[in-house]
């Protein structure tokens, strides 16, 4: 399918969805509106709100805060995940000892941690960063661990026959393999960094996109809630596009799905 | 006892073989706790500069034997000596071309070849220049910047060959290096290998399941029986002059006679091997 055609179809989905929303909220069917504006707002109101935020400039501060929190969560979570992942993969005893605890903590719904982090770290950005870290860390950790464990035994034997010592194995074999696994989960971990930030803000803060949505909900301002969600969605799409660009650079050595299909 | 000392004396007198396996037995512990004896009592010597091919049915233990010679696998009985010295760990004198894909997928062709020198501390620029020379030698000039997945199977094997040979190992271990390639490519690769080898005759231990390829390339052909407990059951000298051309040598009378002789013996083993692996 050509790129233009794909873009057209993607746009068509948005147009149809907005049209249904518009008709449902403005055209009465047998005297009742299928989507009462009080609960669903209207496309026009939501668009007007988004424009107003950007024109007045009030939204920038919140976007900036959420971005900072997500980035900090991503960087700290990734560093921790890589370090611990490497450590566990190279020391099977350590991995075996900690295995049940890792599973336990990972199984914990992170939302229950939010109040604790707020208690420990206050209502500023660090409690949100901490929440994001708990999400990002595990994704990166599991991928790095797997990436080291799953190095092909033939490649390892080859590396050793070529004379690599432990340090060189690390640098030329384990590290690239672990990174490739980590990068292949980049979308997920970046996404979770944003989720951590927004959920943290939603549960208690004074700034950020989560805070904006929570404030609007508090006064039944549905247009505000929807506008907040749209800004968040656009924000995530922009970040995801950046991640895709970074990924393309970093994983040039990997066969593309399209190539292997031929 | 007497026999042992006699053998010891013989070894001391003759120039030490590049690779010598003495009565090696290799067993694997299976998941269910049982042991599987893959190779039993295999003795084999490869003289310096000699090209020896090992032929045997699939699954008989050819790769296992090569891993023992490489020091990647310790035999549970018998010994391995490299140039007369018992092998303590990895075989530092050997280059190993693996049966499976062994290139580093995250390195380009030229990086894959250069790494062999960089490991020993060669300056990167120098290693790269030498790697470029080697790529040219294996017919891949201009392919240096490609990653392994952008190369064909035959091209990947060429990179593998360059990666091993750039280190100039005294011994070359090759495990069905041309196995997955098509007939024409195999021939071209065979001639390339002979070409490179004739420049500085290393000791070569070349594993294949293709008897024609074995005879065409080597000075000696060693036959293994089907497993379990595979043994070495035959050892033929190939009296065909060099330099050889893989395609032409097959038309020679000496080639055909030797092929018939060896095949007589190998046929039964291949059938046995098929019966055990279910034809696969
Ligand atoms: N790590 C292992 N554990 C158990 N069995 C093995 C292992 N490696 C090889 N074998 C068995 O040893 C036999 C010889 O294997 P291999 O040397 O790879 O044969 P081939 O001659 O095809 O190279 C086969 O039957 C195989 O199943
Ligand atoms: Mg094999």
Residues 6+ apart with CB under 8 A from B43: B21, B22, B23, B24, B78, B232
Measure the CA–CA gap between B221 and B214, rounded to whole angstroms.
7
Query: How many cross-chain Cβ pairs, A to B, lie less than 8 Å apart?
Result: 65
Same domain, A28 and A130: no
* Pair (A17, A108) in one structural domain: no
In a domain, A260, yes or no: no
In a shared domain, residues A153 and A226: yes
Band (pLDDT 50/70/90 cuts) for residue A256 is low
B135-154 per-position pLDDT tens digit: 999 999 999 999 999 999 99
Report which of B157, B151, B170 is spatially closest to residue B97, judged by C-alpha positions. Answer: B157
Domain-embedded: residue A259: no
Buried b (16+ CB within 10 A) or exposed e, B239-265: ebeeebebeebbeeeebeebbeebeee
- The alpha-carbon radius of gyration of chain A (Å, integer) is 23
pLDDT at B63 over 90: yes
Secondary structure letter of residue B180 according to DSSP: T
Residue B70, min C-alpha distance to chain A (Å)? 8
- Please state the rounded mean pLDDT for residues B261-279: 77
What pLDDT band is residue B277 in, cutting at 50, 70 and 90? low
Higher pLDDT, B70 or A252: B70
Whether A51 is covered by a domain: the verdict is yes
A57 shares contact with chain B (CB less than 8 Å)? no
- pLDDT of B4: 52
pLDDT at A261: 36
What ligand 1 atom has the least distance to the C-alpha of B58?
22
Residues A60 and A18 occupy one common structural domain: no
Q: Does B149 touch chain A (CB under 8 A)?
A: yes
* Statement to judge: residues A158 and A227 lie in one domain: yes
How many of the other CB atoms lie within 10 Å of CB of A159? 21
Whether residue A18 is contained in a domain is answered as yes
Burial of A180 (0-12, 13-18, 19+ CB in 10 A): middle
Whether B7 contacts chain A with CB within 8 A: no
CATH-assigned architecture of domain B15-93+171-181+202-280: 3-Layer(aba) Sandwich (3.40)
Would residue A104 count as lying in a domain?
A: yes
3-state SS, residue B37: strand
What is residue A262's predicted lDDT score, i.e. its pLDDT?
34
Number of domains composing chain A? 2
Report the pLDDT value the prediction gives residue A260, as an integer from 0 to 100: 41
Q: State yes or no: pLDDT of B272 exceeds 80.
A: no
In this prediction, residue B122 carries a pLDDT of 92
Helix, strand counts (H, E) of chain B: 9, 10
**Phi/psi at B25 (5° precision):** -125, 135
Task: Evaluate the omega torsion of the peptide bond into residue B243 and state whether it is cis, within 30 degrees of 0.
Answer: yes
What is the distance between the alpha carbons of residues B97 and B197, in angstroms, rounded to a whole number?
14
Q: Is B89 on the interface with A (CB under 8 A)?
A: no
Residue A65 in tokens = 């805060």
Contact (CB, 8 A) for A211 and A62: yes
Same structural domain, A55 and A36: no
pLDDT band at A246 (very low <50, low <70, confident <90, very high): confident
CB contacts, 8 Å: A254 with chain B: 105, 149
With 60 as the cut, is the pLDDT of residue A174 above it? yes
pLDDT for residue B5 is more than 70: no
Query: Which of A161, A179, A180, A261 is the best residue to mutate to test the B interface, defined by the most B CB atoms within 10 Å of its own CB?
Result: A161
CA distance A241 to A65: 20
Could you give the residue range(s) of every CATH 3.40.50.300 domain in chain B? 15-93+171-181+202-280
Tell whether A138 and A152 lie within a shared domain.
yes
Cβ atoms B143, B80 nearer than 8 A = no
| Burial degree of A73 (CB within 10 A; 0-12, 13-18, 19+) | buried
Note whether A125 and A161 are same-domain residues: yes
Domain shared by A9 and A56, yes or no: no
B40, B42, B54, B64: which to mutate for ligand 1, most atoms within 8 A of CB? Answer: B64
- Does A241 reach chain B within 8 Å, measured CB to CB? no
Task: Please report which confidence band the pLDDT of residue B14 belongs to, taking 50, 70 and 90 as the band edges.
Answer: low
- Segments forming the whole domain that contains residue A148: 45-250
- A155 CB neighbours in chain B (<8 A) are 101-105
Residue A49 pLDDT > 90: yes
Concatenated DSSP letters of B66-103: HHHHHTSS--SEEEEEETTEE--SS-TTEEEE-SS--S
Does B61 contact ligand 1 (Cβ within 6 A)? yes
Half-sphere exposure of A67 (CA within 13 A, CB side): 13
Does residue A242 lie in a domain region?
Answer: yes
Q: Are residues A182 and A117 part of one domain? A: yes
Q: Ramachandran region of residue B203, left (φ > 0), alpha (ψ -120 to 50) or beta?
A: beta
Residue A202 lies in a domain: yes
pLDDT tens for each residue of A72-130: 999 999 999 999 999 999 898 999 999 999 999 989 888 888 889 999 998 889 999 99
pLDDT, tens digit, for every residue of B177-228?
A: 988 788 888 899 899 999 999 988 999 999 998 999 999 999 999 999 887 8
Instruction: Judge if A34 and A76 occupy the same domain.
Output: no
pLDDT score of B12 more than 80: no
Residue in chain A lying closest to B117 (CA):
A162
Q: In whole angstroms, what is the distance from residue A26 CA to residue A37 CA? A: 8
Q: What is the CATH number of the domain that holds A63?
A: 1.10.3720.10
- Cα-to-centroid distance, B175 and ligand 2 (Å): 7
Which value does ipTM take for this structure?
0.88
Asked if residue A210 belongs to a domain, the reply is yes
């Amino acid at each position: 399918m050509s790129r233009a055609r794909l873009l057209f179809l993607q746009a068509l989905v948005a147009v149809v969805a907005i049209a249904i929303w518009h008709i449902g909220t403005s055209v009465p069917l047998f005297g009742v509106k299928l989507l009462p504006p009080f609960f669903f707002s209207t496309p026009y109101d939501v668009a007007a709100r988004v424009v107003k935020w950007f024109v007045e400039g009030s939204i920038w501060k919140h976007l900036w805060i959420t971005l900072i929190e997500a980035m900090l969560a991503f960087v700290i979570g990734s560093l921790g995940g890589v370090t611990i992942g490497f450590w566990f993969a190279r020391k099977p005893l350590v991995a075996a000892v900690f295995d049940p605890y890792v599973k336990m903590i990972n199984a914990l719904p992170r939302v229950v941690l939010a109040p604790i982090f707020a208690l420990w770290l206050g209502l500023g950005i660090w409690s949100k960063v901490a929440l994001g870290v708990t999400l990002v860390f595990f994704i990166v950790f599991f991928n790095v661990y797997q990436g080291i464990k799953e190095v092909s035994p033939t490649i390892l034997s080859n590396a050793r026959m070529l004379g690599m010592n432990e340090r060189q194995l690390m640098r030329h074999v384990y590290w690239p393999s672990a990174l490739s696994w980590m990068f292949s989960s980049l979308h997920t971990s970046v996404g979770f960094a944003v989720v951590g930030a927004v959920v943290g803000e939603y549960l208690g803060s004074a700034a950020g996109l989560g805070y904006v949505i929570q404030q609007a909900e508090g006064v039944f301002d549905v247009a505000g809630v929807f506008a907040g969600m749209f800004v968040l969605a656009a924000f995530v799409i922009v970040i995801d596009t950046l991640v895709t660009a970074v990924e393309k650079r970093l994983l040039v050595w990997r066969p593309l799905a399209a190539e292997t299909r031929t | 006892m007497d026999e042992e000392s006699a053998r010891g004396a013989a070894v001391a007198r003759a120039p030490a073989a590049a690779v010598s396996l003495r009565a090696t037995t290799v067993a694997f512990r299976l998941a269910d706790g049982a042991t599987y004896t893959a190779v039993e009592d295999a003795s084999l010597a490869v003289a310096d500069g000699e090209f020896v091919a090992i032929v045997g049915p699939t699954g008989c233990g050819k790769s296992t034997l090569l891993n023992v010679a490489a020091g990647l696998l310790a035999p549970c009985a018998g010994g391995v000596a490299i140039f007369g010295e018992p092998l303590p760990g990895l075989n530092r004198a050997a280059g190993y071309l693996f049966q499976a894909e062994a290139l580093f997928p995250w390195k380009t062709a030229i990086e894959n070849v250069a790494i062999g020198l960089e490991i020993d501390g060669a300056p990167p620029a120098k290693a790269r220049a030498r790697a470029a020379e080697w790529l040219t030698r294996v017919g891949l000039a201009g392919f240096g910047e490609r990653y392994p997945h952008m190369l064909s199977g035959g091209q990947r094997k060429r990179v593998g060959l360059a990666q091993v040979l750039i280190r100039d190992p005294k011994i070359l271990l090759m495990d069905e290096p041309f196995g997955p390639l098509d007939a024409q490519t195999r021939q071209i690769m065979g001639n390339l290998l002979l070409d490179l080898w004739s420049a500085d005759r290393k000791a070569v231990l070349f594993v294949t399941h293709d008897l024609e390829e074995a005879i065409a390339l080597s000075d000696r052909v060693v036959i293994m029986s089907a497993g379990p407990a595979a043994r070495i059951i035959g050892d033929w000298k190939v009296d065909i002059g060099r330099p050889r051309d893989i395609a032409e040598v097959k038309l020679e009378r000496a080639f055909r006679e030797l092929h018939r002789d060896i095949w007589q013996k190998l046929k039964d083993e291949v059938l046995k091997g098929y019966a055990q692996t279910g034809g696969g």
